[in-house]
Amino acid sequence: MKLFQILIISFLMVVNSIGSAFCQDITLSWDPSPTPEVTGYKVYYKQDNMDFPFDGIGATEGASPVDVGDVLSTTLTGLSDGETYYFSVTAYNNADAQSSYSNIVSNSWLPALVIPENGATNEPVPVTFRWETAPSGYDVSYTLFYGTDENEVRNAGSIVTIPPPSNNNLPTGIIIVLAALTLVMMSTRYGSRIKFLPQTASLLLIALSGGFLTACGGGGGGGDGSTSSHSVASSEESVLYSINKGSSDYHQAYDLEASTTYYWKIVATDTQDPNLTYESEVLYFTTGEF
């Protein structure tokens, strides 16, 4: 379907959700499109996940999309009670040309993305990501995902953390030190009798020193003072970052390339039930030249 250039609904929201014994009615409201030729709106909905296409069924008003005409609010009735639904709205004109989708909303809480604004250009680095925190009653931890491939970001669902060094390595280090010292002592006393003993002791000490130097390397900060786990997956074509932000509602990213489009989202995970997650929509922005 041909798209036409309009400033589509800047804000779609769920006004209320009324449940009965077997179904729920969900009322939606949105800002008007400022484009004069708009003659109506279509409401798209889907159950359980926000992956396009929004091809939901079950509403009394019909399958998605529901053409609601030239109004700024509507109610979808007869939806399954206790289920989570996602909604988006488009505008159309007399030629049946349709706009892009509005923001996505749900009858369940979703973490709203604040900045960067969707489609922002010339974003300076470091880029500050900010999102709205959960309302009272939610106990969640936030994971930020951002990368250069939209599908990778959209499909990302869990953070891969890099565990800290284990204390179990300490006895091994002590054993190596004792072995090296023993060889040195033996080299001093019996070096002339045992072939290659001095060289073996020297090599062992060098290897031990290299291990200590390697253990002291690495590291980096999130830039906002919060404790976070940072993981990066990359290929020749794309890069995907996942950062565990705990209860923080922002992150400053210094590791972005110039003139590059990035996609991002937030996944909030219940601290008591890791299987219970709340996922934002995916937005995008482009960094400036530097």
Give SS3 for 15: strand
The CA distances from residue 191 to 175, 176, 181, in Å, are 22, 20, 14
- pLDDT at residue 192 tops 70: no
Instruction: Report the range of poorest mean pLDDT among 81-90, 163-172, 195-204, 248-257.
Output: 163-172
The per-residue pLDDT for range 105-123, each reduced to its tens digit, is 888 889 999 999 999 999 9
What is the sign of the dihedral through the CA atoms of 52, 101, 112 and 125? positive
**Contact, 156 vs 145, CB < 8 A?**
yes
Q: Is the pLDDT of residue 186 over 70?
A: no
Average pLDDT, the chain: 78
What domains are there in the chain, each with its CATH number?
1-108 (2.60.40.10), 111-290 (2.60.40.10)
The token pair at 64 is: 């998605």
Reported as a single tens digit per residue, the pLDDT across 126-166 is 999 999 999 988 999 999 999 999 999 999 874 433 333 33
pLDDT of residue 276: 87
pLDDT at 209 over 60: no
Asked if residue 217 has pLDDT above 80, the reply is no
Q: Write b or e for each residue in 170-197: b if 16 or more Cβ atoms lie within 10 A of its Cβ, otherwise e.
A: eeeeeeeeeebeebbebbeeebeeeeeb
Q: Give the number of other CB atoms < 10 A from CB of residue 43.
A: 25
**For residue 236, what pLDDT is reported?**
67
Angle between helices 169-190 and 197-215 (to 10 degrees): 150
Helix or strand run (H / E) with residue 209: helix 197-215
How confident is the model at residue 220, as a pLDDT? 35
Contact 183/204 with Cβ under 8 angstroms?
yes
Residue 168 has pLDDT above 60, yes or no: no
The CA distances from residue 107 to 49, 74, 75, 208, 273, in Å, are 12, 14, 12, 59, 20
The whole model's pTM is what?
Answer: 0.63
Confidence of residue 267 (pLDDT cuts 50, 70, 90): very high
Of residues 11 and 225, more confidently modeled: 11
Rounded distance, CA 287 to CA 148, Å?
A: 11
Burial tier of 237 (Cβ tally within 10 Å: 0-12, 13-18, 19+): exposed
Cβ within 8 Å of residue 169, ≥6 positions away: none
Cα–Cα distance for residue pair 50/46, rounded to 1 Å: 7
Task: Specify the pLDDT at position 187.
Answer: 55
Q: pLDDT, tens digit, for every residue of 39-73? A: 999 999 999 888 889 999 999 999 999 999 999 99
